[in-house]
Amino acid sequence: MVEDLVIAAVVAGSAGAVYAMAAARVIKQYERGVVLRLGRLRERIRQPGLTMIVPGVDRLRKVNMQIVTMPVPAQEGITRDNVTVRVDAVVYFKVVDPAEAVIQVEDYRFAVSQMAQTSLRSIIGKSDLDDLLSNREKLNQGLELMLDSPAVGWGVHIDRVEIKDVSLPETMKRSMSRQAEAERERRARVINADAELLASKKLAEAARTMADQPSALQLRLLQTIVAVAAEKNSTLVLPFPVELLRFLERAGHGEGEGEGGRGRDTAAGTARGAPEVPPAEHIELEPADGKDATDRTGTADAADVPNAPDATDGTDEAAAPGWAEALGRAGRSVAGLELPDAPESGTGRTGIGHP
């Protein structure tokens, strides 16, 4: 009898131990437990620690409450400005309602991954290339809103979304490199032009100061000589005042004007002293070799001389001495001498015509 009681107690204890081992569950600190009893959701969410369920009746689902880092596969798309790019991103999310994450969606991880890929492609099509490269914060916020709207009903909260990399075609990379180089060159030229403008203003101010104080220019010249002499070279610097060059230039201009005036006076006097040739329609010329004088008749009128200037006029002062000599020879020819050819002048060959 006693032995039967002992055996029954041992069997009951063993059965209780087996039941306890089958019903006991351990939930970790970062997890929450959702119990489904005969397929129906139990309202109470099991907290971390040791919990008991009915074996064969209850089913415990553990849900991770940690933040999940999920990479989004690279997606190819065409931007709004028709540039083909390849963009990949990363999504940070966590479960805030374990019951909704178990009941509302079959696999919340897969659902979030697919939603992230479609949203990323949508963002690529709505954005420009410059926005993808430089304005990523705004795109990240837009992508986060697109993901968070459906994820709320799944008991999932999207913590943040980051665009990791934007891959461009090689031709686009070269084009952007040339554009950046041109932009840097433009900025360098603008900076150089501003520096030249500022330097010119300073130089103009310095020139006005030196014009007011001539000794400042001499001091500047001495400073330049000291700077050149500081180097070890065989160059000999001899300062030549600029004022002396200006004085010599003014003196040269004055001397040239004086010689021009004296030349004009001499030409005018020679022209006024030239003998006048009386007009004659037909003048018999005495030949020097005894030939018929009628063959050598000519008109000695001054009007027959082509392009003959007025001797008293001062418009052609350089040719006045030559014309005076020509008129003198014409007078001697009229008196019975042989008529030679007129000499050349500065304006061309002239002579007395024969009828």
Task: State the average pLDDT over residues 225-244.
Answer: 68
Per DSSP, the residues of 229-291 read: HTSS---------HHHHHHHHHHHHHHHHHHHHHHHHHHHHHHHTSPPPPP-SSBPPPPSSS-
As given in the structure block, the two tokens for residue 73 are 């596969």
* CATH number reported for the structural domain that contains residue 136 in this entry: 3.30.479.30
Say how far apart CA 284 and CA 113 lie, in whole Å: 131
Bridge-partner residues for 88, per DSSP?
A: 165
Q: Among residues 118, 148, 168, which one ends one of the domains?
A: 168
In-domain check, residue 245: no
Same structural domain, 324 and 277: yes
Tell whether 25 is covered by a domain: yes
Q: Which residue has the higher pLDDT, 111 or 273?
A: 111
The b/e string for 163-178 (b: 16+ C-beta within 10 A; e otherwise) is beebebeeeeeeeeee
Residues 115 and 147: their CA atoms lie apart, in Å, by: 7
C-alpha torsion sign, points 266, 309, 349, 355: negative
Q: What percent of the chain has a predicted confidence (pLDDT) above 90?
A: 17
Helix axis angle, 320-334 to 242-272, nearest 10°:
20
**156: in domain:** yes
Residue 91: band (very low, low, confident or very high) from pLDDT cuts 50, 70, 90:
very high
The verdict on 87 and 138 lying in the same domain is: yes
335 occurs within a structural domain: yes
Strongest mean pLDDT among 52-61, 238-247, 298-307: 52-61
Check whether 244 has a pLDDT greater than 60: yes
Please indicate, yes or no, whether residues 53 and 86 belong to a single structural domain of this protein. Answer: no
Cα separation, 53 vs 305, whole angstroms: 145
Q: Within this chain, do residues 127 and 94 fall inside the same structural domain, yes or no?
A: yes
Q: What is the mean pLDDT of the chain?
A: 74
Which of 10-19, 77-86, 197-206 is predicted with the least confidence, judged by mean pLDDT?
10-19
Question: 6 versus 98: which is more confidently predicted?
Answer: 98
Q: Are residues 336 and 285 in the same domain?
A: yes
Examine the domain organization and report whether 32 and 99 are in the same domain.
no
- Domain coverage including residue 25: 2-64
> Mean per-residue pLDDT for 129-153?
87
Give the domain-ending residue among 168, 199, 226: 168
- Within 10 angstroms of residue 221's Cβ, the number of other Cβ atoms is 15
Q: For the segment 1-51, what is each residue's pLDDT rounded down to a tens digit?
A: 677 788 888 888 888 888 888 888 888 999 999 999 888 888 888 899 888
Q: Model-level pTM?
A: 0.50
Last residue of one domain, picked from the residues 37, 64, 91: 64
Q: Which pLDDT belongs to residue 8?
A: 81
If one counts the domains in the chain, the total is: 3
Query: Do 82 and 60 fall into the same domain?
Result: no
Structure tokens at 173: 């990379």
